[in-house]
Amino acid sequence: MNSYDAYFRYNDGELTCEGLPLREAAERFGTPLYVYTERGFRERYMEIDRALDGVPHLICYSIKSNSNVNILRIMADMGSGMDVVSGGEIRRALAAGVDPRKIVFAGVGKTDEEISGAIDEKILMFNCESFEEMERIDEISRAKGTVSDISIRVNPDVDANTHHYIRTGRKENKFGIDIDRLKERGDFIRGLSGLRLIGIHCHIGSQIVELPPFTAALTRLLTLIGGLKRDGFSDIAYINLGGGMGIRYRDEEFFPIEDWAREVRGRVSAAGLKLIVEPGRYISGNNGVLLVRLLYKKRTGDRLFLITDGGMNDLIRPSLYSAYQNILNCVRREGSEVADVVGPICESGDFFGKEREITTSLPGDCLGVMSSGAYGMAMASRYNSRRLPAEVLIGVDGSPRLIRRRETYEDMIAHELVP
C-alpha cells in the first residue's frame, strides 16, 4: 500500500477512507465513483503553508487538477488563492467564494471575452504568455479606462525531467516567453500604458520529483527580476514559481516539501519579493480514489483481463501518459493474480494498469484506482456516450457527501439540438 495515500487504508480487510469502507460508498453511490478526503486536502495545503512560514506568500491552488466547487470551497476556506486558465475556472473560483484578489490567470490562449471578464472581476493579475497577449490585454484595459496588473510567464529553459506531455519549461514548449527575448523587449512593455508589470512567473512542468529544476528556475527568475528592476520596472513585487511538485504514485522518491521551501524562502525574502506558488497535483493527487466495479474476468491466450465499469473516459492518465496508478481491491482476498485492468471503451488504450499483480478478485468486486485526485475527474469525458461519473467527499467526521451527482442520459444529450 502506498503510504502517501495516507487517508486510504485497509481496516479489517476493507479499504477505508476516514473509517468508511469504500465498498459501502460504491454500493450507496454507484460506480464509477470518485471519492475524496477533505482532511487530506486540508493537510496538504497546510503543509505547504507551514513550510513557507516566514516568507510573504500566496498559495494559488491550481484549479485544473481538481475543479469541483466543493473542493475549491475547502481551499478557499483555508485561505487559498486560485491559479486559473480559463473564464470557466474563474467562474468556478468565484462560485466557491474565492476572493478575486487572490486569482491569477495563466494560459496561452486567453480570448477577449475572458480577458474582459477577468478585468471586470478585478483579479489579482494576468500571467501573460506572449507579447501578442500583452498587447491585447493592454488594448482591452485602455478601452475600459483601467490599468491591468500582469506577471510575465517566462520560459526559463530548464529540463524538468518529467513526461514530455507535462514538461513545459523548455524553449520548444508553447508556454511562456523566452527570457532573452523578454530582456530585448523592455521598451515594448514600457510602451503599454494599460499594463503594469508586477511579477514574473514560471511553471516548468508537472510531477517533478527532483529539486534541482526548481532551484535552477528560481535562480534564473531572480536574476531576471534583478535586471528588470535595474531597467526601471520598479513595480515588480511578485515571483511566481508555478506548481509541479511531484507526488508518490508508486515508489517515486520525491523531495520533502520542507527542502523545497528552504531553497525558496531565504532567497525570495532577500530579494524583497512576495512568493506565489500554484500547486495542483501536490494538494489533490493522493487525496482521491476512483472506484470501479469488476464486471468480467476474461482470459485471452496467456493474458487475464479484469474488465471494469470504469474506463479511460473516467480517468485518462494511464492511457494518455502511461501513468502508473496503484490498483487495490476494496476487499482484501487471499492470493493474487497478474492481470490487465481495463475498461469497456472501444480503444486498446483503455486501461488502468497492465500486467499488474493484484489481489485475486471476483466479478462484482469494487477496485480502487489510487491517487486519482488530480487530473482524474477534471479530465473526464463522455467518450462512448458514457455519463460523467459521480463524486463524493468524505468529511473530516467520516461522513460521505455527494458533491457531484452522476449524469443522467437526459443530461448527456441535453445540449444537442434536435430539429
Ligand X SMILES: Cc1ncc(COP(=O)(O)O)c(C=O)c1O
Distance CA 228, CA 236 (A): 8
243 sits near ligand X (criterion: CB under 6 A): yes
The residues that are catalytic are 346
Residue 278 interacting with ligand X (CB under 6 A): yes
| 11: region left, alpha or beta (phi > 0 left; psi from -120 to 50 alpha) | beta
In this chain, which of 32, 81, 242, 373 binds ligand X, going by CB under 6 A?
A: 242
Closest approach of ligand X to the CB of residue 72, in Å? 14
Under the criterion CB under 6 A, does residue 281 sit at the interface with ligand X? yes
One-letter amino acid for residue 325 of the chain: Q
Q: Which stretch binds ligand X (CB under 6 A): 20-28, 133-141, 239-247, 331-339?
A: 239-247
Binding ligand X (rule: CB under 6 A), the pick from 214, 238, 282, 352 is 282
Question: Do 315 and 352 touch, CB atoms closer than 8 A?
Answer: yes
Our CB check for ligand X shows the closer of 76 and 374 to be: 374
Q: Which is nearer to ligand X, 106 or 341 (CB)?
A: 106
Which span sits near ligand X by CB under 6 A: 15-23, 87-95, 236-244, 334-342? 236-244
Nearer to ligand X, 93 or 307 (CB): 93
- Using CB under 6 A as the binding rule, whether residue 293 contacts ligand X is answered as no
Of the pair 150, 342, the CB lying nearest ligand X is at 150
Q: Answer yes or no whether residue 62 interacts with ligand X by CB under 6 A.
A: yes
At closest approach, how far in Å is the CB of 373 from ligand X?
11
Positions 192 through 221 that interact with ligand X (CB under 6 A): 203, 206
Q: Which stretch binds ligand X (CB under 6 A): 261-269, 279-287, 289-297, 313-321?
A: 279-287
For ligand X, give the closer residue by CB, 154 or 341: 154
Quick check: 373 binds ligand X (CB under 6 A)?
no
- The span from the CA of 412 to the CA of 315, in Å, is 18
**Residues within window 136-195 making contact with ligand X, judged by CB under 6 A:** none
Q: Which of 2, 16, 31, 65 binds ligand X (CB under 6 A)?
A: 65
Q: Smallest distance from the beta carbon of 275 to ligand X, in angstroms? A: 14
C-alpha dihedral sign at 406, 77, 206, 196: positive
Binding flag, residue 84, ligand X (CB under 6 A): no
Q: Is 45 in the site for ligand X (CB under 6 A)?
A: no
User: Site for ligand X (CB under 6 A): which residue of 15, 58, 93, 106?
Assistant: 106
Task: Confirm or reject binding of residue 279 to ligand X (CB under 6 A).
Answer: yes
CA distances from 346 to 125, 173, 308, 311, 351 (A): 43, 32, 13, 10, 11
Question: Minimum distance between the CB of residue 400 and ligand X, rounded to whole angstroms?
Answer: 25
Q: Nearest approach, Cβ of 110 to ligand X (angstroms)? A: 13
Segment interacting with ligand X (CB under 6 A) among 58-66, 142-150, 223-231, 330-338:
58-66
**Shorter beta-carbon distance to ligand X: residue 87 or 244:** 244
Residues that bind ligand X in the complex, under the rule CB under 6 A: 62, 64-65, 83, 106, 203, 206, 242-245, 278-282, 374
